[in-house]
Structure 1
Amino acid sequence: MFHFHLVFVFPSLLVRASRGRSSFISSNFISRYAWTSRWVESKHKSDYGKFKLSAGKFYGDAERDKGLQTSQDARFYALSTRFEPFSNKEKPLVVQFTLKHEQNIDCGGGYVKLFPSTLNQEDMHGESEYNIMFGPDICGPGTKKVHVIFNYKGKNVLINKDIRCKDDEFTHLYTLIVRPDNTYEVKIENSKVESGSLEEDWDFLPPKKIKDPEAKKPEDWDERAKIDDPEDKKPEDWDKPEHVPDPDAKKPEDWDEEMDGEWEPPVIQNPEYKGEWKPRQIDNPSYKGKWIHPEIENPEYTADSSLYAYDDFGVLGLDLWQVKSGTIFDNFLITDDEKLAEEVGNETWGATKEAEKKMKEQQDEEQRKKQEEEDKKRKEEEGDEEAEGEGEDNEEDEEEEEEEEPEKEGEGEEEETEGPLKDEL
């Protein structure tokens, strides 16, 4: 069987063959600069965000983990790369890549699109027709899902299931498998998270059966399981008021009917009140069950054994929006070999995941210690400022006391001079 492979792993070029399978080539990103010659920026808009080559702030290997990273906030991105066109008819299709939302993304896409080879890459935009869209989409706490969208006869059809995506800051491996028997599988970290039938999990086709438009429920069809007992009668003493005047209430002695109006006692809940009377329920002897509308074969339904198949794949594109940039796309793989995809995943994401987490933990610990030192230094500086402030206050108090003493001496002299004057009097 013919095998088609497109693998991007940064930055070196590798070629390998295994157990008689065709070789895969890794990578088109031969150097720090060569990737720009293989990827085309769309010119449909003038303000698309820029991608850069980066391993990010934490990684397993500084060179091997370099990928395409979004670099500008609140931007649309439109970048694509072309490969030798192929059809997946009668063959499995595997789409795989790694993704790292290093910025702890709050709203933005992390998916890829597979386009036909007829795409004008310089005019690629959000409305450009694609074959398949696959990957995570996050926007707030309500949207954290993996998109799997197929274009069928010109219409984009979304999966009917909710597949949860990863929303942390680490690298994750996403894999979509579409098989010739019209089944699919979605894997994250090489583990199945969803699978099933294309026809059942997408609304590609009209329903096989529809309600018979000629069928109508018979007029005498009784769907009531229970009915009122015709023998049950309401007791004659049943009807009692819900509220009655309080028998213990007395008109205040100072009540003035001319001023206050006619006095009425307050009401209380009637202890004899029984509520609304309802007859006893019994089984309905005429009950026939719930009427089910008969179905017929849908004349508009036609089975399609090639839901999975596309005549032409030729371009892989990153067409998305991000509020906060920093996402890294890497290790793109398109193949018909499920086993190969699993191995590539283990050799890329699998080989770097632990080292990446370890580096992130070390950075977090260093940041924690740095913050503690800064907090400690700030408190010490605040303490020194308080001490200096107290010293200045004490100096001001001493100066005020020194200024007050001459005033007291002057006041004494005045008293002494006043004394002889009084004596003279």
Structure 2
Amino acid sequence: MASQRRRSSALSSLILLSLLVAASAEVFFEERFDDGWENRWVKSDWKKDEKLAGEWNYTSGKWNGDPNDKGIQTSEDYRFYAISAEFPEFSNKDKTLVFQFSVKHEQKLDCGGGYMKLLSSGIDQKKFGGDTPYSIMFGPDICGYSTKKVHAIITYNETNHLIKKDVPCETDQLTHVYTFILRPDATYSILIDNVEKQSGSLYSDWSILPPKKIKDPEAKKPEDWDDKEYIPDPEDKKPEGYDDIPKEIPDPEAKKPEDWDDEEDGEWTAPTMANPEYKGPWKQKKIKNPNYKGKWKAPMIDNPDFKDDPDIYVYPSLKYVGIELWQVKSGTLFDNVLICDDPEYAKNLVEETWGKQKDAEKAAFDEEEKKKEEEESKDDPVDSDAEIEDDEDDADAEDDSDAEAKPEAHLADDTEESAHDEL
């Protein structure tokens, strides 16, 4: 009974803590794509006249952890997608800004984005597209073998600035949650599935402002500065006769052929072989330089071109959130979009949604993959040629040998094709 009371008390404390977190958080926008979501989102007419505007599906996907938890998914290949939602305009001045959403690439994405955008006031949602100015662009981008990263692009003075650090993204076909946190002290964090993957400062990790410190352009390396870490050993001398050792010598095992005719074939000479005594060109040994002072670096000074902006992190009129993509292969699903001022609230939302569903989603995906493999194995006519030949008259031994060779030929073809696909 006592243990039950303790568990009940702990659960009550956890619920109370969650309620307190929710009460203290200011949520500017939260979209779980439940009933009525179409009334909150505006599909853009961008690329519509060119018949290149893609349609969204309202779905939980082919595999999921909860069939009732739906999002919006790109449904047509080779299409542009643009959709946005409005929220009450606000400024993040003196506030922490949290931008979070989940994304799943069911199509095993080869090249395409899964990012979202925060936009400020003054846009036409029906014209929202690739040229529409945005304030923050955040989320995964995958293309080939080289691009598999999280975009974090900050707009400052109408110029887009890419993060300088590399933040790898997830590349599987399961749901993942991406979180961008921007604080009033101009520090940031990037999380994937509630795990911090990168952090730092707007000052150092984006080239938004000139650097605070620069190398002193007037500084010169002192003439007596010794930056050679190793020097030739003055005690090491080349052995006498070292240069006289030939690289090759006549092969002592070689013998003049019995049918060799000096008059007709010329004077016989033994073929040469590598000389085991030859050690290559002589090189003087090196030792640590006792006068080594290290690599010289110019001292850092205050950058005269640097002018601080304490509002470097501020967006005074955030009003929209949008998705704008080009997809060669469709199937990217977005859900659980959140804009708030409390990282703890965002963390709890991740656990409440993705955290509760991820294991069931993985199991559903594995089951789907298993079915696919079984179907492919049924359709694979691997040994059909061999079976036909086994049924035929095998009186001719030569024909039998040909039949044995054919499966090997099929294996070779399959291997070559697999290698080609890999490239």
- Using structure 1 for the length normalisation, give the TM-score: 0.74
Asked whether the 8 Å contact 1:28–1:35 carries over to 2, the reply is no
Residue 136 of structure 1 and its aligned partner are, at CA, apart by 1.2
- The yes-or-no answer on 1:88 pairing with 2:80 is no
Letter in 2 for 1:71: S
Task: Give 1:324's aligned residue.
Answer: 329
Structure 1 residues 363 and 214, CA gap change in structure 2 (3 angstroms): closer
- The yes-or-no answer on 1:68 pairing with 2:75 is no
- The yes-or-no answer on 1:241 pairing with 2:246 is yes
Which residue of 123, 132, 152 maps to 2:136? Answer: 132
Letter in 2 for 1:293: A
Which residue of 47, 55, 58 maps to 1:53? Answer: 58
Structure 1 residues 216 and 253, CA gap change in structure 2 (3 angstroms): same
Secondary structure in structure 2 of the residue aligned to 1:348: helix
Task: Give 2:43's aligned residue.
Answer: 40
Secondary structure in structure 1 of the residue aligned to 2:246: coil
CA distance in 1, matches of 2:72, 2:276: 78
Instruction: Report 1:25-424 matches (<5 A).
Output: 31=35, 35=38, 38-44=41-47, 46=50, 47-63=52-68, 65-230=69-234, 232-239=236-243, 240-257=245-262, 259-281=264-286, 284=289, 287-364=292-369
CA distance in 1, matches of 2:77, 2:24: 46
CA distance in 1, matches of 2:317, 2:27: 22
Instruction: Report 1:5-16 matches (<5 A).
Output: none
Letter in 2 for 1:48: A
CA distance in 1, matches of 2:240, 2:228: 29
Asked whether the 8 Å contact 1:73–1:322 carries over to 2, the reply is yes
Tell me the matched-pair count: 369
Q: List per-residue Cα deviations over 1:96-132 (Å, max 9, x = no partner).
A: 1121212222221111011111223333332332111
Asked whether the 8 Å contact 1:28–1:38 carries over to 2, the reply is no
Asked whether the 8 Å contact 1:42–1:79 carries over to 2, the reply is no
CA distance in 1, matches of 2:71, 2:165: 30
CA distance in 2, matches of 1:306, 1:297: 21
RMSD: 3.6
Secondary structure in structure 1 of the residue aligned to 2:208: coil
CA distance in 1, matches of 2:30, 2:229: 69
Residue 350 of structure 1 and its aligned partner are, at CA, apart by 3.3
Structure 1: gaps spanning 5 or more residues: 1-15, 392-425
Secondary structure in structure 2 of the residue aligned to 1:346: helix
Structure 1 residues 129 and 218, CA gap change in structure 2 (3 angstroms): same
Residue 92 of structure 1 and its aligned partner are, at CA, apart by 0.9
Asked whether the 8 Å contact 2:26–2:340 carries over to 1, the reply is no
Structure 1 residues 26 and 246, CA gap change in structure 2 (3 angstroms): closer
Asked whether the 8 Å contact 2:25–2:340 carries over to 1, the reply is no
Secondary structure in structure 1 of the residue aligned to 2:345: helix
Letter in 2 for 1:125: G
Structure 2: gaps spanning 5 or more residues: 1-19, 394-423
Task: Give 2:12's aligned residue.
Answer: none
Secondary structure in structure 1 of the residue aligned to 2:92: coil
Letter in 1 for 2:42: W
Q: List per-residue Cα deviations over 1:351-409 (Å, max 9, x = no partner).
A: 4434434444554556666677x569x99xx89x979x889xxxxxxxxxxxxxxxxxx
Q: List per-residue Cα deviations over 1:332-351 (Å, max 9, x = no partner).
A: 11111223223333333334
Q: List per-residue Cα deviations over 1:120-177 (Å, max 9, x = no partner).
A: 3333332332111111112234332221111122322222332232222222222211
Residue 212 of structure 1 and its aligned partner are, at CA, apart by 1.8
Secondary structure in structure 2 of the residue aligned to 1:221: coil
CA distance in 2, matches of 1:153, 1:390: 80
CA distance in 2, matches of 1:23, 1:270: 81
Percent of pairs with identical residues:
50
Q: List per-residue Cα deviations over 1:197-217 (Å, max 9, x = no partner).
A: 222222222222222222222
- Using structure 2 for the length normalisation, give the TM-score: 0.75
CA distance in 2, matches of 1:140, 1:26: 33
Structure 1 residues 48 and 233, CA gap change in structure 2 (3 angstroms): same
CA distance in 2, matches of 1:305, 1:216: 34
Q: List per-residue Cα deviations over 1:186-244 (Å, max 9, x = no partner).
A: 22223333322222222222222222222222344332344335565433322222112
